A and B are shown apart, each in its own frame.
Chain A
Amino acid sequence: MAGTDRALMAHLLRRSGFGATFQELDRYCELGYEAAVEEILHPEQQPGIEEDVLERYFVDWKESRNIEAAMTEFVYRMNVYAGSRPLQEKIALFWHGVFATGLAKVLHEKTLLNQIDMFREGGLNNFRDLLLGLAKDPAMIFWLDNNFNHKGAPNENWGRELLELFSMGVGMDGKENYTEEDVKEAARAFTGWTIDDDNVTSLPFGKIPWLFRYVPEDHDDDEKTFQGETGNFNGEDIIDIIVKQPATARFISRHLYNFFVADEPQVPSWQHTPPGNPELIKILEHEYFSSNYNIRSMLRVLFNSDHFKSQEARFAKVKSPAEVVVGTLHLLGDFKFPKRTIFETALGCRYMGQDLLNPPSVEGWHTGEEWIDSGSLVERVNFVADQVGNINQPGVRAMVDALLSQATELDPLSIIGGCLEMMGHVQLHEKNKEHLAAQIRTMLDQHSAFVAGSPEDIESAEKTILHTMKMIGSTREYQFA
């Protein structure tokens, strides 16, 4: 495959996953673009991790006794699957951002991790099933107080957010998508959908995940009118009505676009702000209906679209902290087994402003440029520079060795070009390339430019490459996916 296609493949993997190593890119390029898309769309057909082996050697690794441990497990899984099942993890991260549920209130790590597992397993399938799963998800029920949603005394929290944040959105094309009455009726339809009280406590057997429980006596079975339809609706009926609304097709399409293609304005403004690319949104909406709400089908159309593949869509997104952390870890080839140091590494997400499993609110994280403030940028830059500058990491060693084997003589531009390619076909602005090249030139002048020579030559060449990778990792350009 030609060089430009390799760059396209790297783009696909940055979006459908956490970027690819040069070895992975070799393999994907051999497959070809559409076959690669197909493979990525079916993570379940790729090898998983051997959980039983992990559990034998790391007995308590899933105990998740606190939020940091739960976050570590989340990051560990994203990293360990970034090579074999990238989209399984990416789609889980996507839905976690949309259906943002937080331990600040839920306080039950295993229950919330079960929700994330539901996204891993069903996040690419039928949206109706996913929404129904969400409505029955104990972490969500507790997060949005549906356990306080009783017959005769409804609590509207879940009913409202289901419409506003999880399916239809407040409005589109300047109009409103639902009424206050719709919220009330939806809430009534979900009365009696609660959690199993018996499992709420954590003593004496450790934390036992909560379960969904339907209490028919607490369900308001009277007639309801929702989105113009009338009947003795239960929650499932409400979801059936929701998923067939054009507003839902639009909302999900825009979310997919915002996450996989290019940064859009923040969600609350979507009612009045048209999509960045109305044509692609239209195609996605169409696929939503014709595939019977299948997310995988929508993503197939999305990844194969001309717009996605175009130069315009490249680096049109600011990486989320999870993408920075996991994407960088993936380059290093580290943490294939749990080890202590992953804890501090995983906390990088928090320091960069994405406290996984603890979103700032039910609206999730504000994305795009809003990820960046002076504090979080410092964290990003230092994290990446420290990690990619560590020659003891197998992935870094492999990148350096591959670069050294490619040339007997290194000049600044070929070092930069090689490093950019190794780090996932990062594109550096010409001006910045010149700045970087100027510095590398000074470094090379101080030492020998030849690699083929003595061990000292090789050492200084290695040093130059590492420095170049650190500096690339600290650029603005590296912050874009």
Chain B
Amino acid sequence: MTSTNKDPILVVVQLTGGNDYMNTVIPYENPLYYDNRTTVGIAQEDVLPIGQGLAFNPTLSGIKNLYDQGKVALINGIGYPTPNRSHFRSMDIWHTCEPEKVGDEGWLGRAIRDLDPKAENVLTGVNFGRGLPRAMALTGVPVASVAVLETYGVLTGITPEAERTQALDLFSRMYSPIAGTGHVMDYLGSTGLDALKGADILKTVPDLYQSSVEYNDSVIGRNLKGIAKVLTANLGTRIFYTQQPGYDTHANQVPTHKALLESLSLAINDFYEDLREHNTSEDVLIYLFTEFGRRVRDNGSGTDHGAGGLAMAIGDPVKGGIYSEYPSLAVGDLEEGDLKHNFDFRGAYGTVAEKWLGLDATTIVGGKFEQLDFV
């Protein structure tokens, strides 16, 4: 692989619902794991060992494969002080970097602003999903939220295509500046034309894309494929965001979690292969996170909300390995039955922002936090 020396790109994947850390990276040599995980525990003979007494869940063979090539950094025990076990609140904290008060600015919104201060490219930030994740929210920062790439755009409900083309033509006329109508009308006008521009650019993407990689069919697979299409079209997008929902495995965890991790692992592997095929894998860092890990002791069917969790950085720019320590499972070391976090997530974001995107981490994560060397 030769480096293309392009601008670094970040792809953030949110595992929504609280991914069970202990069943993703398994401390399989620790008898306490099996004491606590009588129902959902993964048998020692099935796991995929990676050293230091840790192993991947057997369904993660795709990610394990990348790990073996030194392209996966595991950030153990990631979290924040006084953990909140509410999905909403905890996710909010991860999005805004504000554990103490309710914040309304997203860390990636700030990163996009710093990457493109004049908002010159309407596609600097692209989310695959409906609505804007708070992580990307910041006044004055345009972000395109794409539910489905092929149908993204303005007035998508108008058919047939000829009629829609006419409608869009009229739309752009009606959003063009009209002297003397005031700055709010002007602002709406330029925003409408921006949206049209973004949609116009994105419209060309599916036709440009060619790949021999056949993505596994799943929500996360489709979204990462959409990202690959936009990314390889070189539109100047620097930050992509998407999520894989469903990790709230209170009940019937074994088959559910297995299916989730399997599609995640396949999708990540497909995505990476796709980037390689397009000779751009060195430009992309994939960052996976979840709002919290799950309770150490299972509840007889699944696991309840916990604290300290796992983040992963994946890709060619990543220095693979095991970072930060796996939290102790000993009863005395737990915090209300949960793993104690031992690495602040803002340090991991800071690492990505500073060492990968080349930005000042302090403003983005709201302070100075210990960083890691995974980039």
Contacts and interface: CB of A to CB of B under 8 A. Distances in A.
Interface of A: 67, 102-105, 107, 263, 318, 347, 350-351, 353, 358, 360-363, 366, 368-370, 372-379, 381-382, 385-386, 389, 429, 431-432, 435-436, 439, 442, 467, 470-471, 474-476, 479
Contacts of A381: 154-155, 171, 192
The 6 closest A-B pairs by CB, nearest first: A360-B104, A374-B195, A386-B157, A104-B88, A476-B188, A351-B131
Given A369-B188, A378-B195, A351 B130 contact: yes
B25 to A, nearest CB: 29
A94 B322 CA distance: 51
A372 B191 contact: yes
18 contacts: A105-B88, A107-B89, A318-B184, A351-B145, A360-B134, A369-B187, A372-B191, A373-B139, A373-B142, A374-B142, A375-B143, A375-B145, A377-B192, A378-B153, A378-B154, A381-B154, A436-B170, A470-B155
B189 interface: yes
Contacts of B189: 476
Interface in B75-93: 86, 88-89, 92
Contacts of B6: none
Contacts of B156: 382
Q: Which of B101, B104, B144 has the most CB of A within 10 A?
A: B104
B103 interface: yes
Interface stretch (B12-20, B27-35, B172-180, B340-348): B172-180
Contact of A389 (B130, B141, B157): B157
Contacts, number: 128
A370 B183 CA distance: 12
A479 B104 contact: no
Nearest to B183: A369
A376 B189 CA distance: 13
Interface in B148-166: 153-158, 163, 166
Interface of B: 86, 88-89, 92, 101-104, 122, 130-132, 134, 137, 139, 141-145, 153-158, 163, 166-167, 170-171, 173-175, 178, 181, 184-185, 187-189, 191-192, 194-195, 198-199
Contacts of A479: 188
Contacts of A379: 131
B104 A374 contact: no
Contact of B102 (A361, A370, A474): A361
B191 A374 contact: yes
Given A374-B144, A382-B157, A431-B178, A105 B86 contact: yes
Contacts of A474: 154-155, 167, 171, 174
Nearest to B170: A439
A431 B177 CA distance: 10
B191 A373 contact: yes
B37 to A, nearest CB: 23
Nearest to A479: B188
Contact of A382 (B122, B154, B188): B154
A107 B170 CA distance: 45
B102 A104 contact: yes
A105 B98 CA distance: 13
Nearest to A318: B184
Given A369-B187, A470-B155, A476-B188, 18 more contacts: A104-B89, A104-B92, A104-B102, A361-B103, A366-B139, A369-B188, A373-B141, A374-B122, A374-B143, A374-B194, A378-B153, A381-B171, A385-B155, A439-B170, A442-B166, A474-B174, A475-B174, A476-B192
A474 B86 CA distance: 38
Contact of A476 (B122, B158, B174): B174
B97 to A, nearest CB: 14
A387 to B, nearest CB: 9
A382 B155 contact: yes
A378 B173 CA distance: 16
B102 A375 contact: no
A103 B88 CA distance: 8
A476 B177 CA distance: 11
Contacts of A442: 166
A103 B158 CA distance: 36
Contacts of A104: 86, 88-89, 92, 102
A421 to B, nearest CB: 19
Contacts of B122: 374
B195 A362 contact: no
B102 to A, nearest CB: 4
Contacts of B188: 318, 369, 372, 377, 476, 479
A479 B191 CA distance: 13
Contacts of A470: 155, 157-158, 167
Given A363-B104, A382-B156, A476-B174, A373 B143 contact: yes
A350 B130 CA distance: 9
